[in-house]
Amino acid sequence: MKAQPFCGTIFLSMQIRRNTLISAMGDKAAQKAVSVCLLMKDRLGPSSVLHRPTLSRIAETAGISPSTAKRYLPLWLKLGLVEYQGTKNRVLVVKKMASSNKHRNIEVGKLNFNSFKELYKAFRSLLFLLLNSRKSFLKRVIRIATNPKRGEDFKKARKLRDHYAKGDYGKTEYTEYGLSYKTIAKKLGYCARTAQNIVELAVKNKWCKKVNHSTSQLLPGVCGMYVEGYTFTTHNFGWKILANTYEESAYWYGILIGGKK
């Protein structure tokens, strides 16, 4: 895809349903489709209407090639992102992407709307933050359900805990295992190297902070030898590199896990 320059107005209050983002997890085609529609919506303005929607006009508006527009138009229609209106489909409308319930939406105004390429990269990093936020959400729910502070709804927290906190998370405690690049890649639908790039962009933009984890054990004399169960060894220690953990910035933390700051 070749992005073309466009000088438009960025709507800093643009929102999208959280469920739309969740449905795009693991589906690269859907992620690209949603990214393009966000870009078109931003560039078309409040009306979100494109008159005489030929492939060339769609491509010019979105900053993509006509062949790419031809490939993605059926997907947009299938996903319900756009619709034709008027006699002989003379108008293409980018449909409303936000829910009337504001707590079901995520603000996307901080994404980079300069081009499709930049927006798509930022969109993938937002999906990573959303994936990581589930861990933050479960940690908070379990804490409130077991040790609530004044004013916190522990009854609601208990119901959410019993519904969501399954498997490794347990029901009365939380164990943090971090998120490996392999896990991120599997969830988002990419290879581990691309997952690393997605995370690095989020860190670079200061959307989250990466915390590295490792453990060591005294193994006298190993001195660089291979020891099963350890990532590497030094003169007298065996080291295990564990999955990283990520802390969302205050801005994204509030938006991603509850719709509130």
Quick: pLDDT tens for 47-90: 899 999 999 999 999 888 999 999 989 999 998 999 999 888 89
Look at residue 159 and tell me whether its pLDDT is greater than 50.
yes
Percentage of residues in the chain having pLDDT higher than 90: 49
Mean pLDDT of the chain: 85
Look at residue 119 and tell me whether its pLDDT is greater than 60.
yes
pLDDT tier, 158 (very low <50, low <70, confident <90, very high otherwise): confident
pLDDT tier, 184 (very low <50, low <70, confident <90, very high otherwise): very high
Query: Does residue 13 or residue 133 have the better pLDDT?
Result: 133
Sequence spans of domains, the chain = 15-109, 124-258
Averaged pLDDT for residues 32-43: 92
pLDDT tier, 251 (very low <50, low <70, confident <90, very high otherwise): confident
The pLDDT value recorded for residue 28 is 92
Token representation of residue 80: 């319900």
Query: By three-state DSSP, how is residue 185 classified?
Result: helix
| CATH architecture assignment, domain 15-109 | Orthogonal Bundle (1.10)
What residues have CB less than 8 Å from 111, skipping those under 6 apart?
A: 38, 119, 122, 123, 126
Buried b (16+ CB within 10 A) or exposed e, 63-89: bbbeebbeebbebbeebebbeeeeeee
Look at residue 166 and tell me whether its pLDDT is greater than 80.
no
pLDDT digit string, tens, across residues 195-236: 999 999 999 999 999 999 889 999 999 998 999 999 999 999
Long-range contacts of 175-184, Cβ-Cβ distance < 8 Å, separation of 24 or more: 176/135, 176/139, 176/245, 177/243, 178/213, 178/242, 178/243, 178/244, 178/245, 179/131, 179/132, 179/135, 179/243, 179/244, 179/245, 179/246, 180/243, 180/244, 183/243, 184/128, 184/131
The pLDDT value recorded for residue 173 is 64
Look at residue 141 and tell me whether its pLDDT is greater than 60.
yes
The pLDDT value recorded for residue 172 is 57
The pLDDT value recorded for residue 5 is 37
The pLDDT value recorded for residue 242 is 87
The pLDDT value recorded for residue 164 is 67
Residue with tokens 């959303």: 130
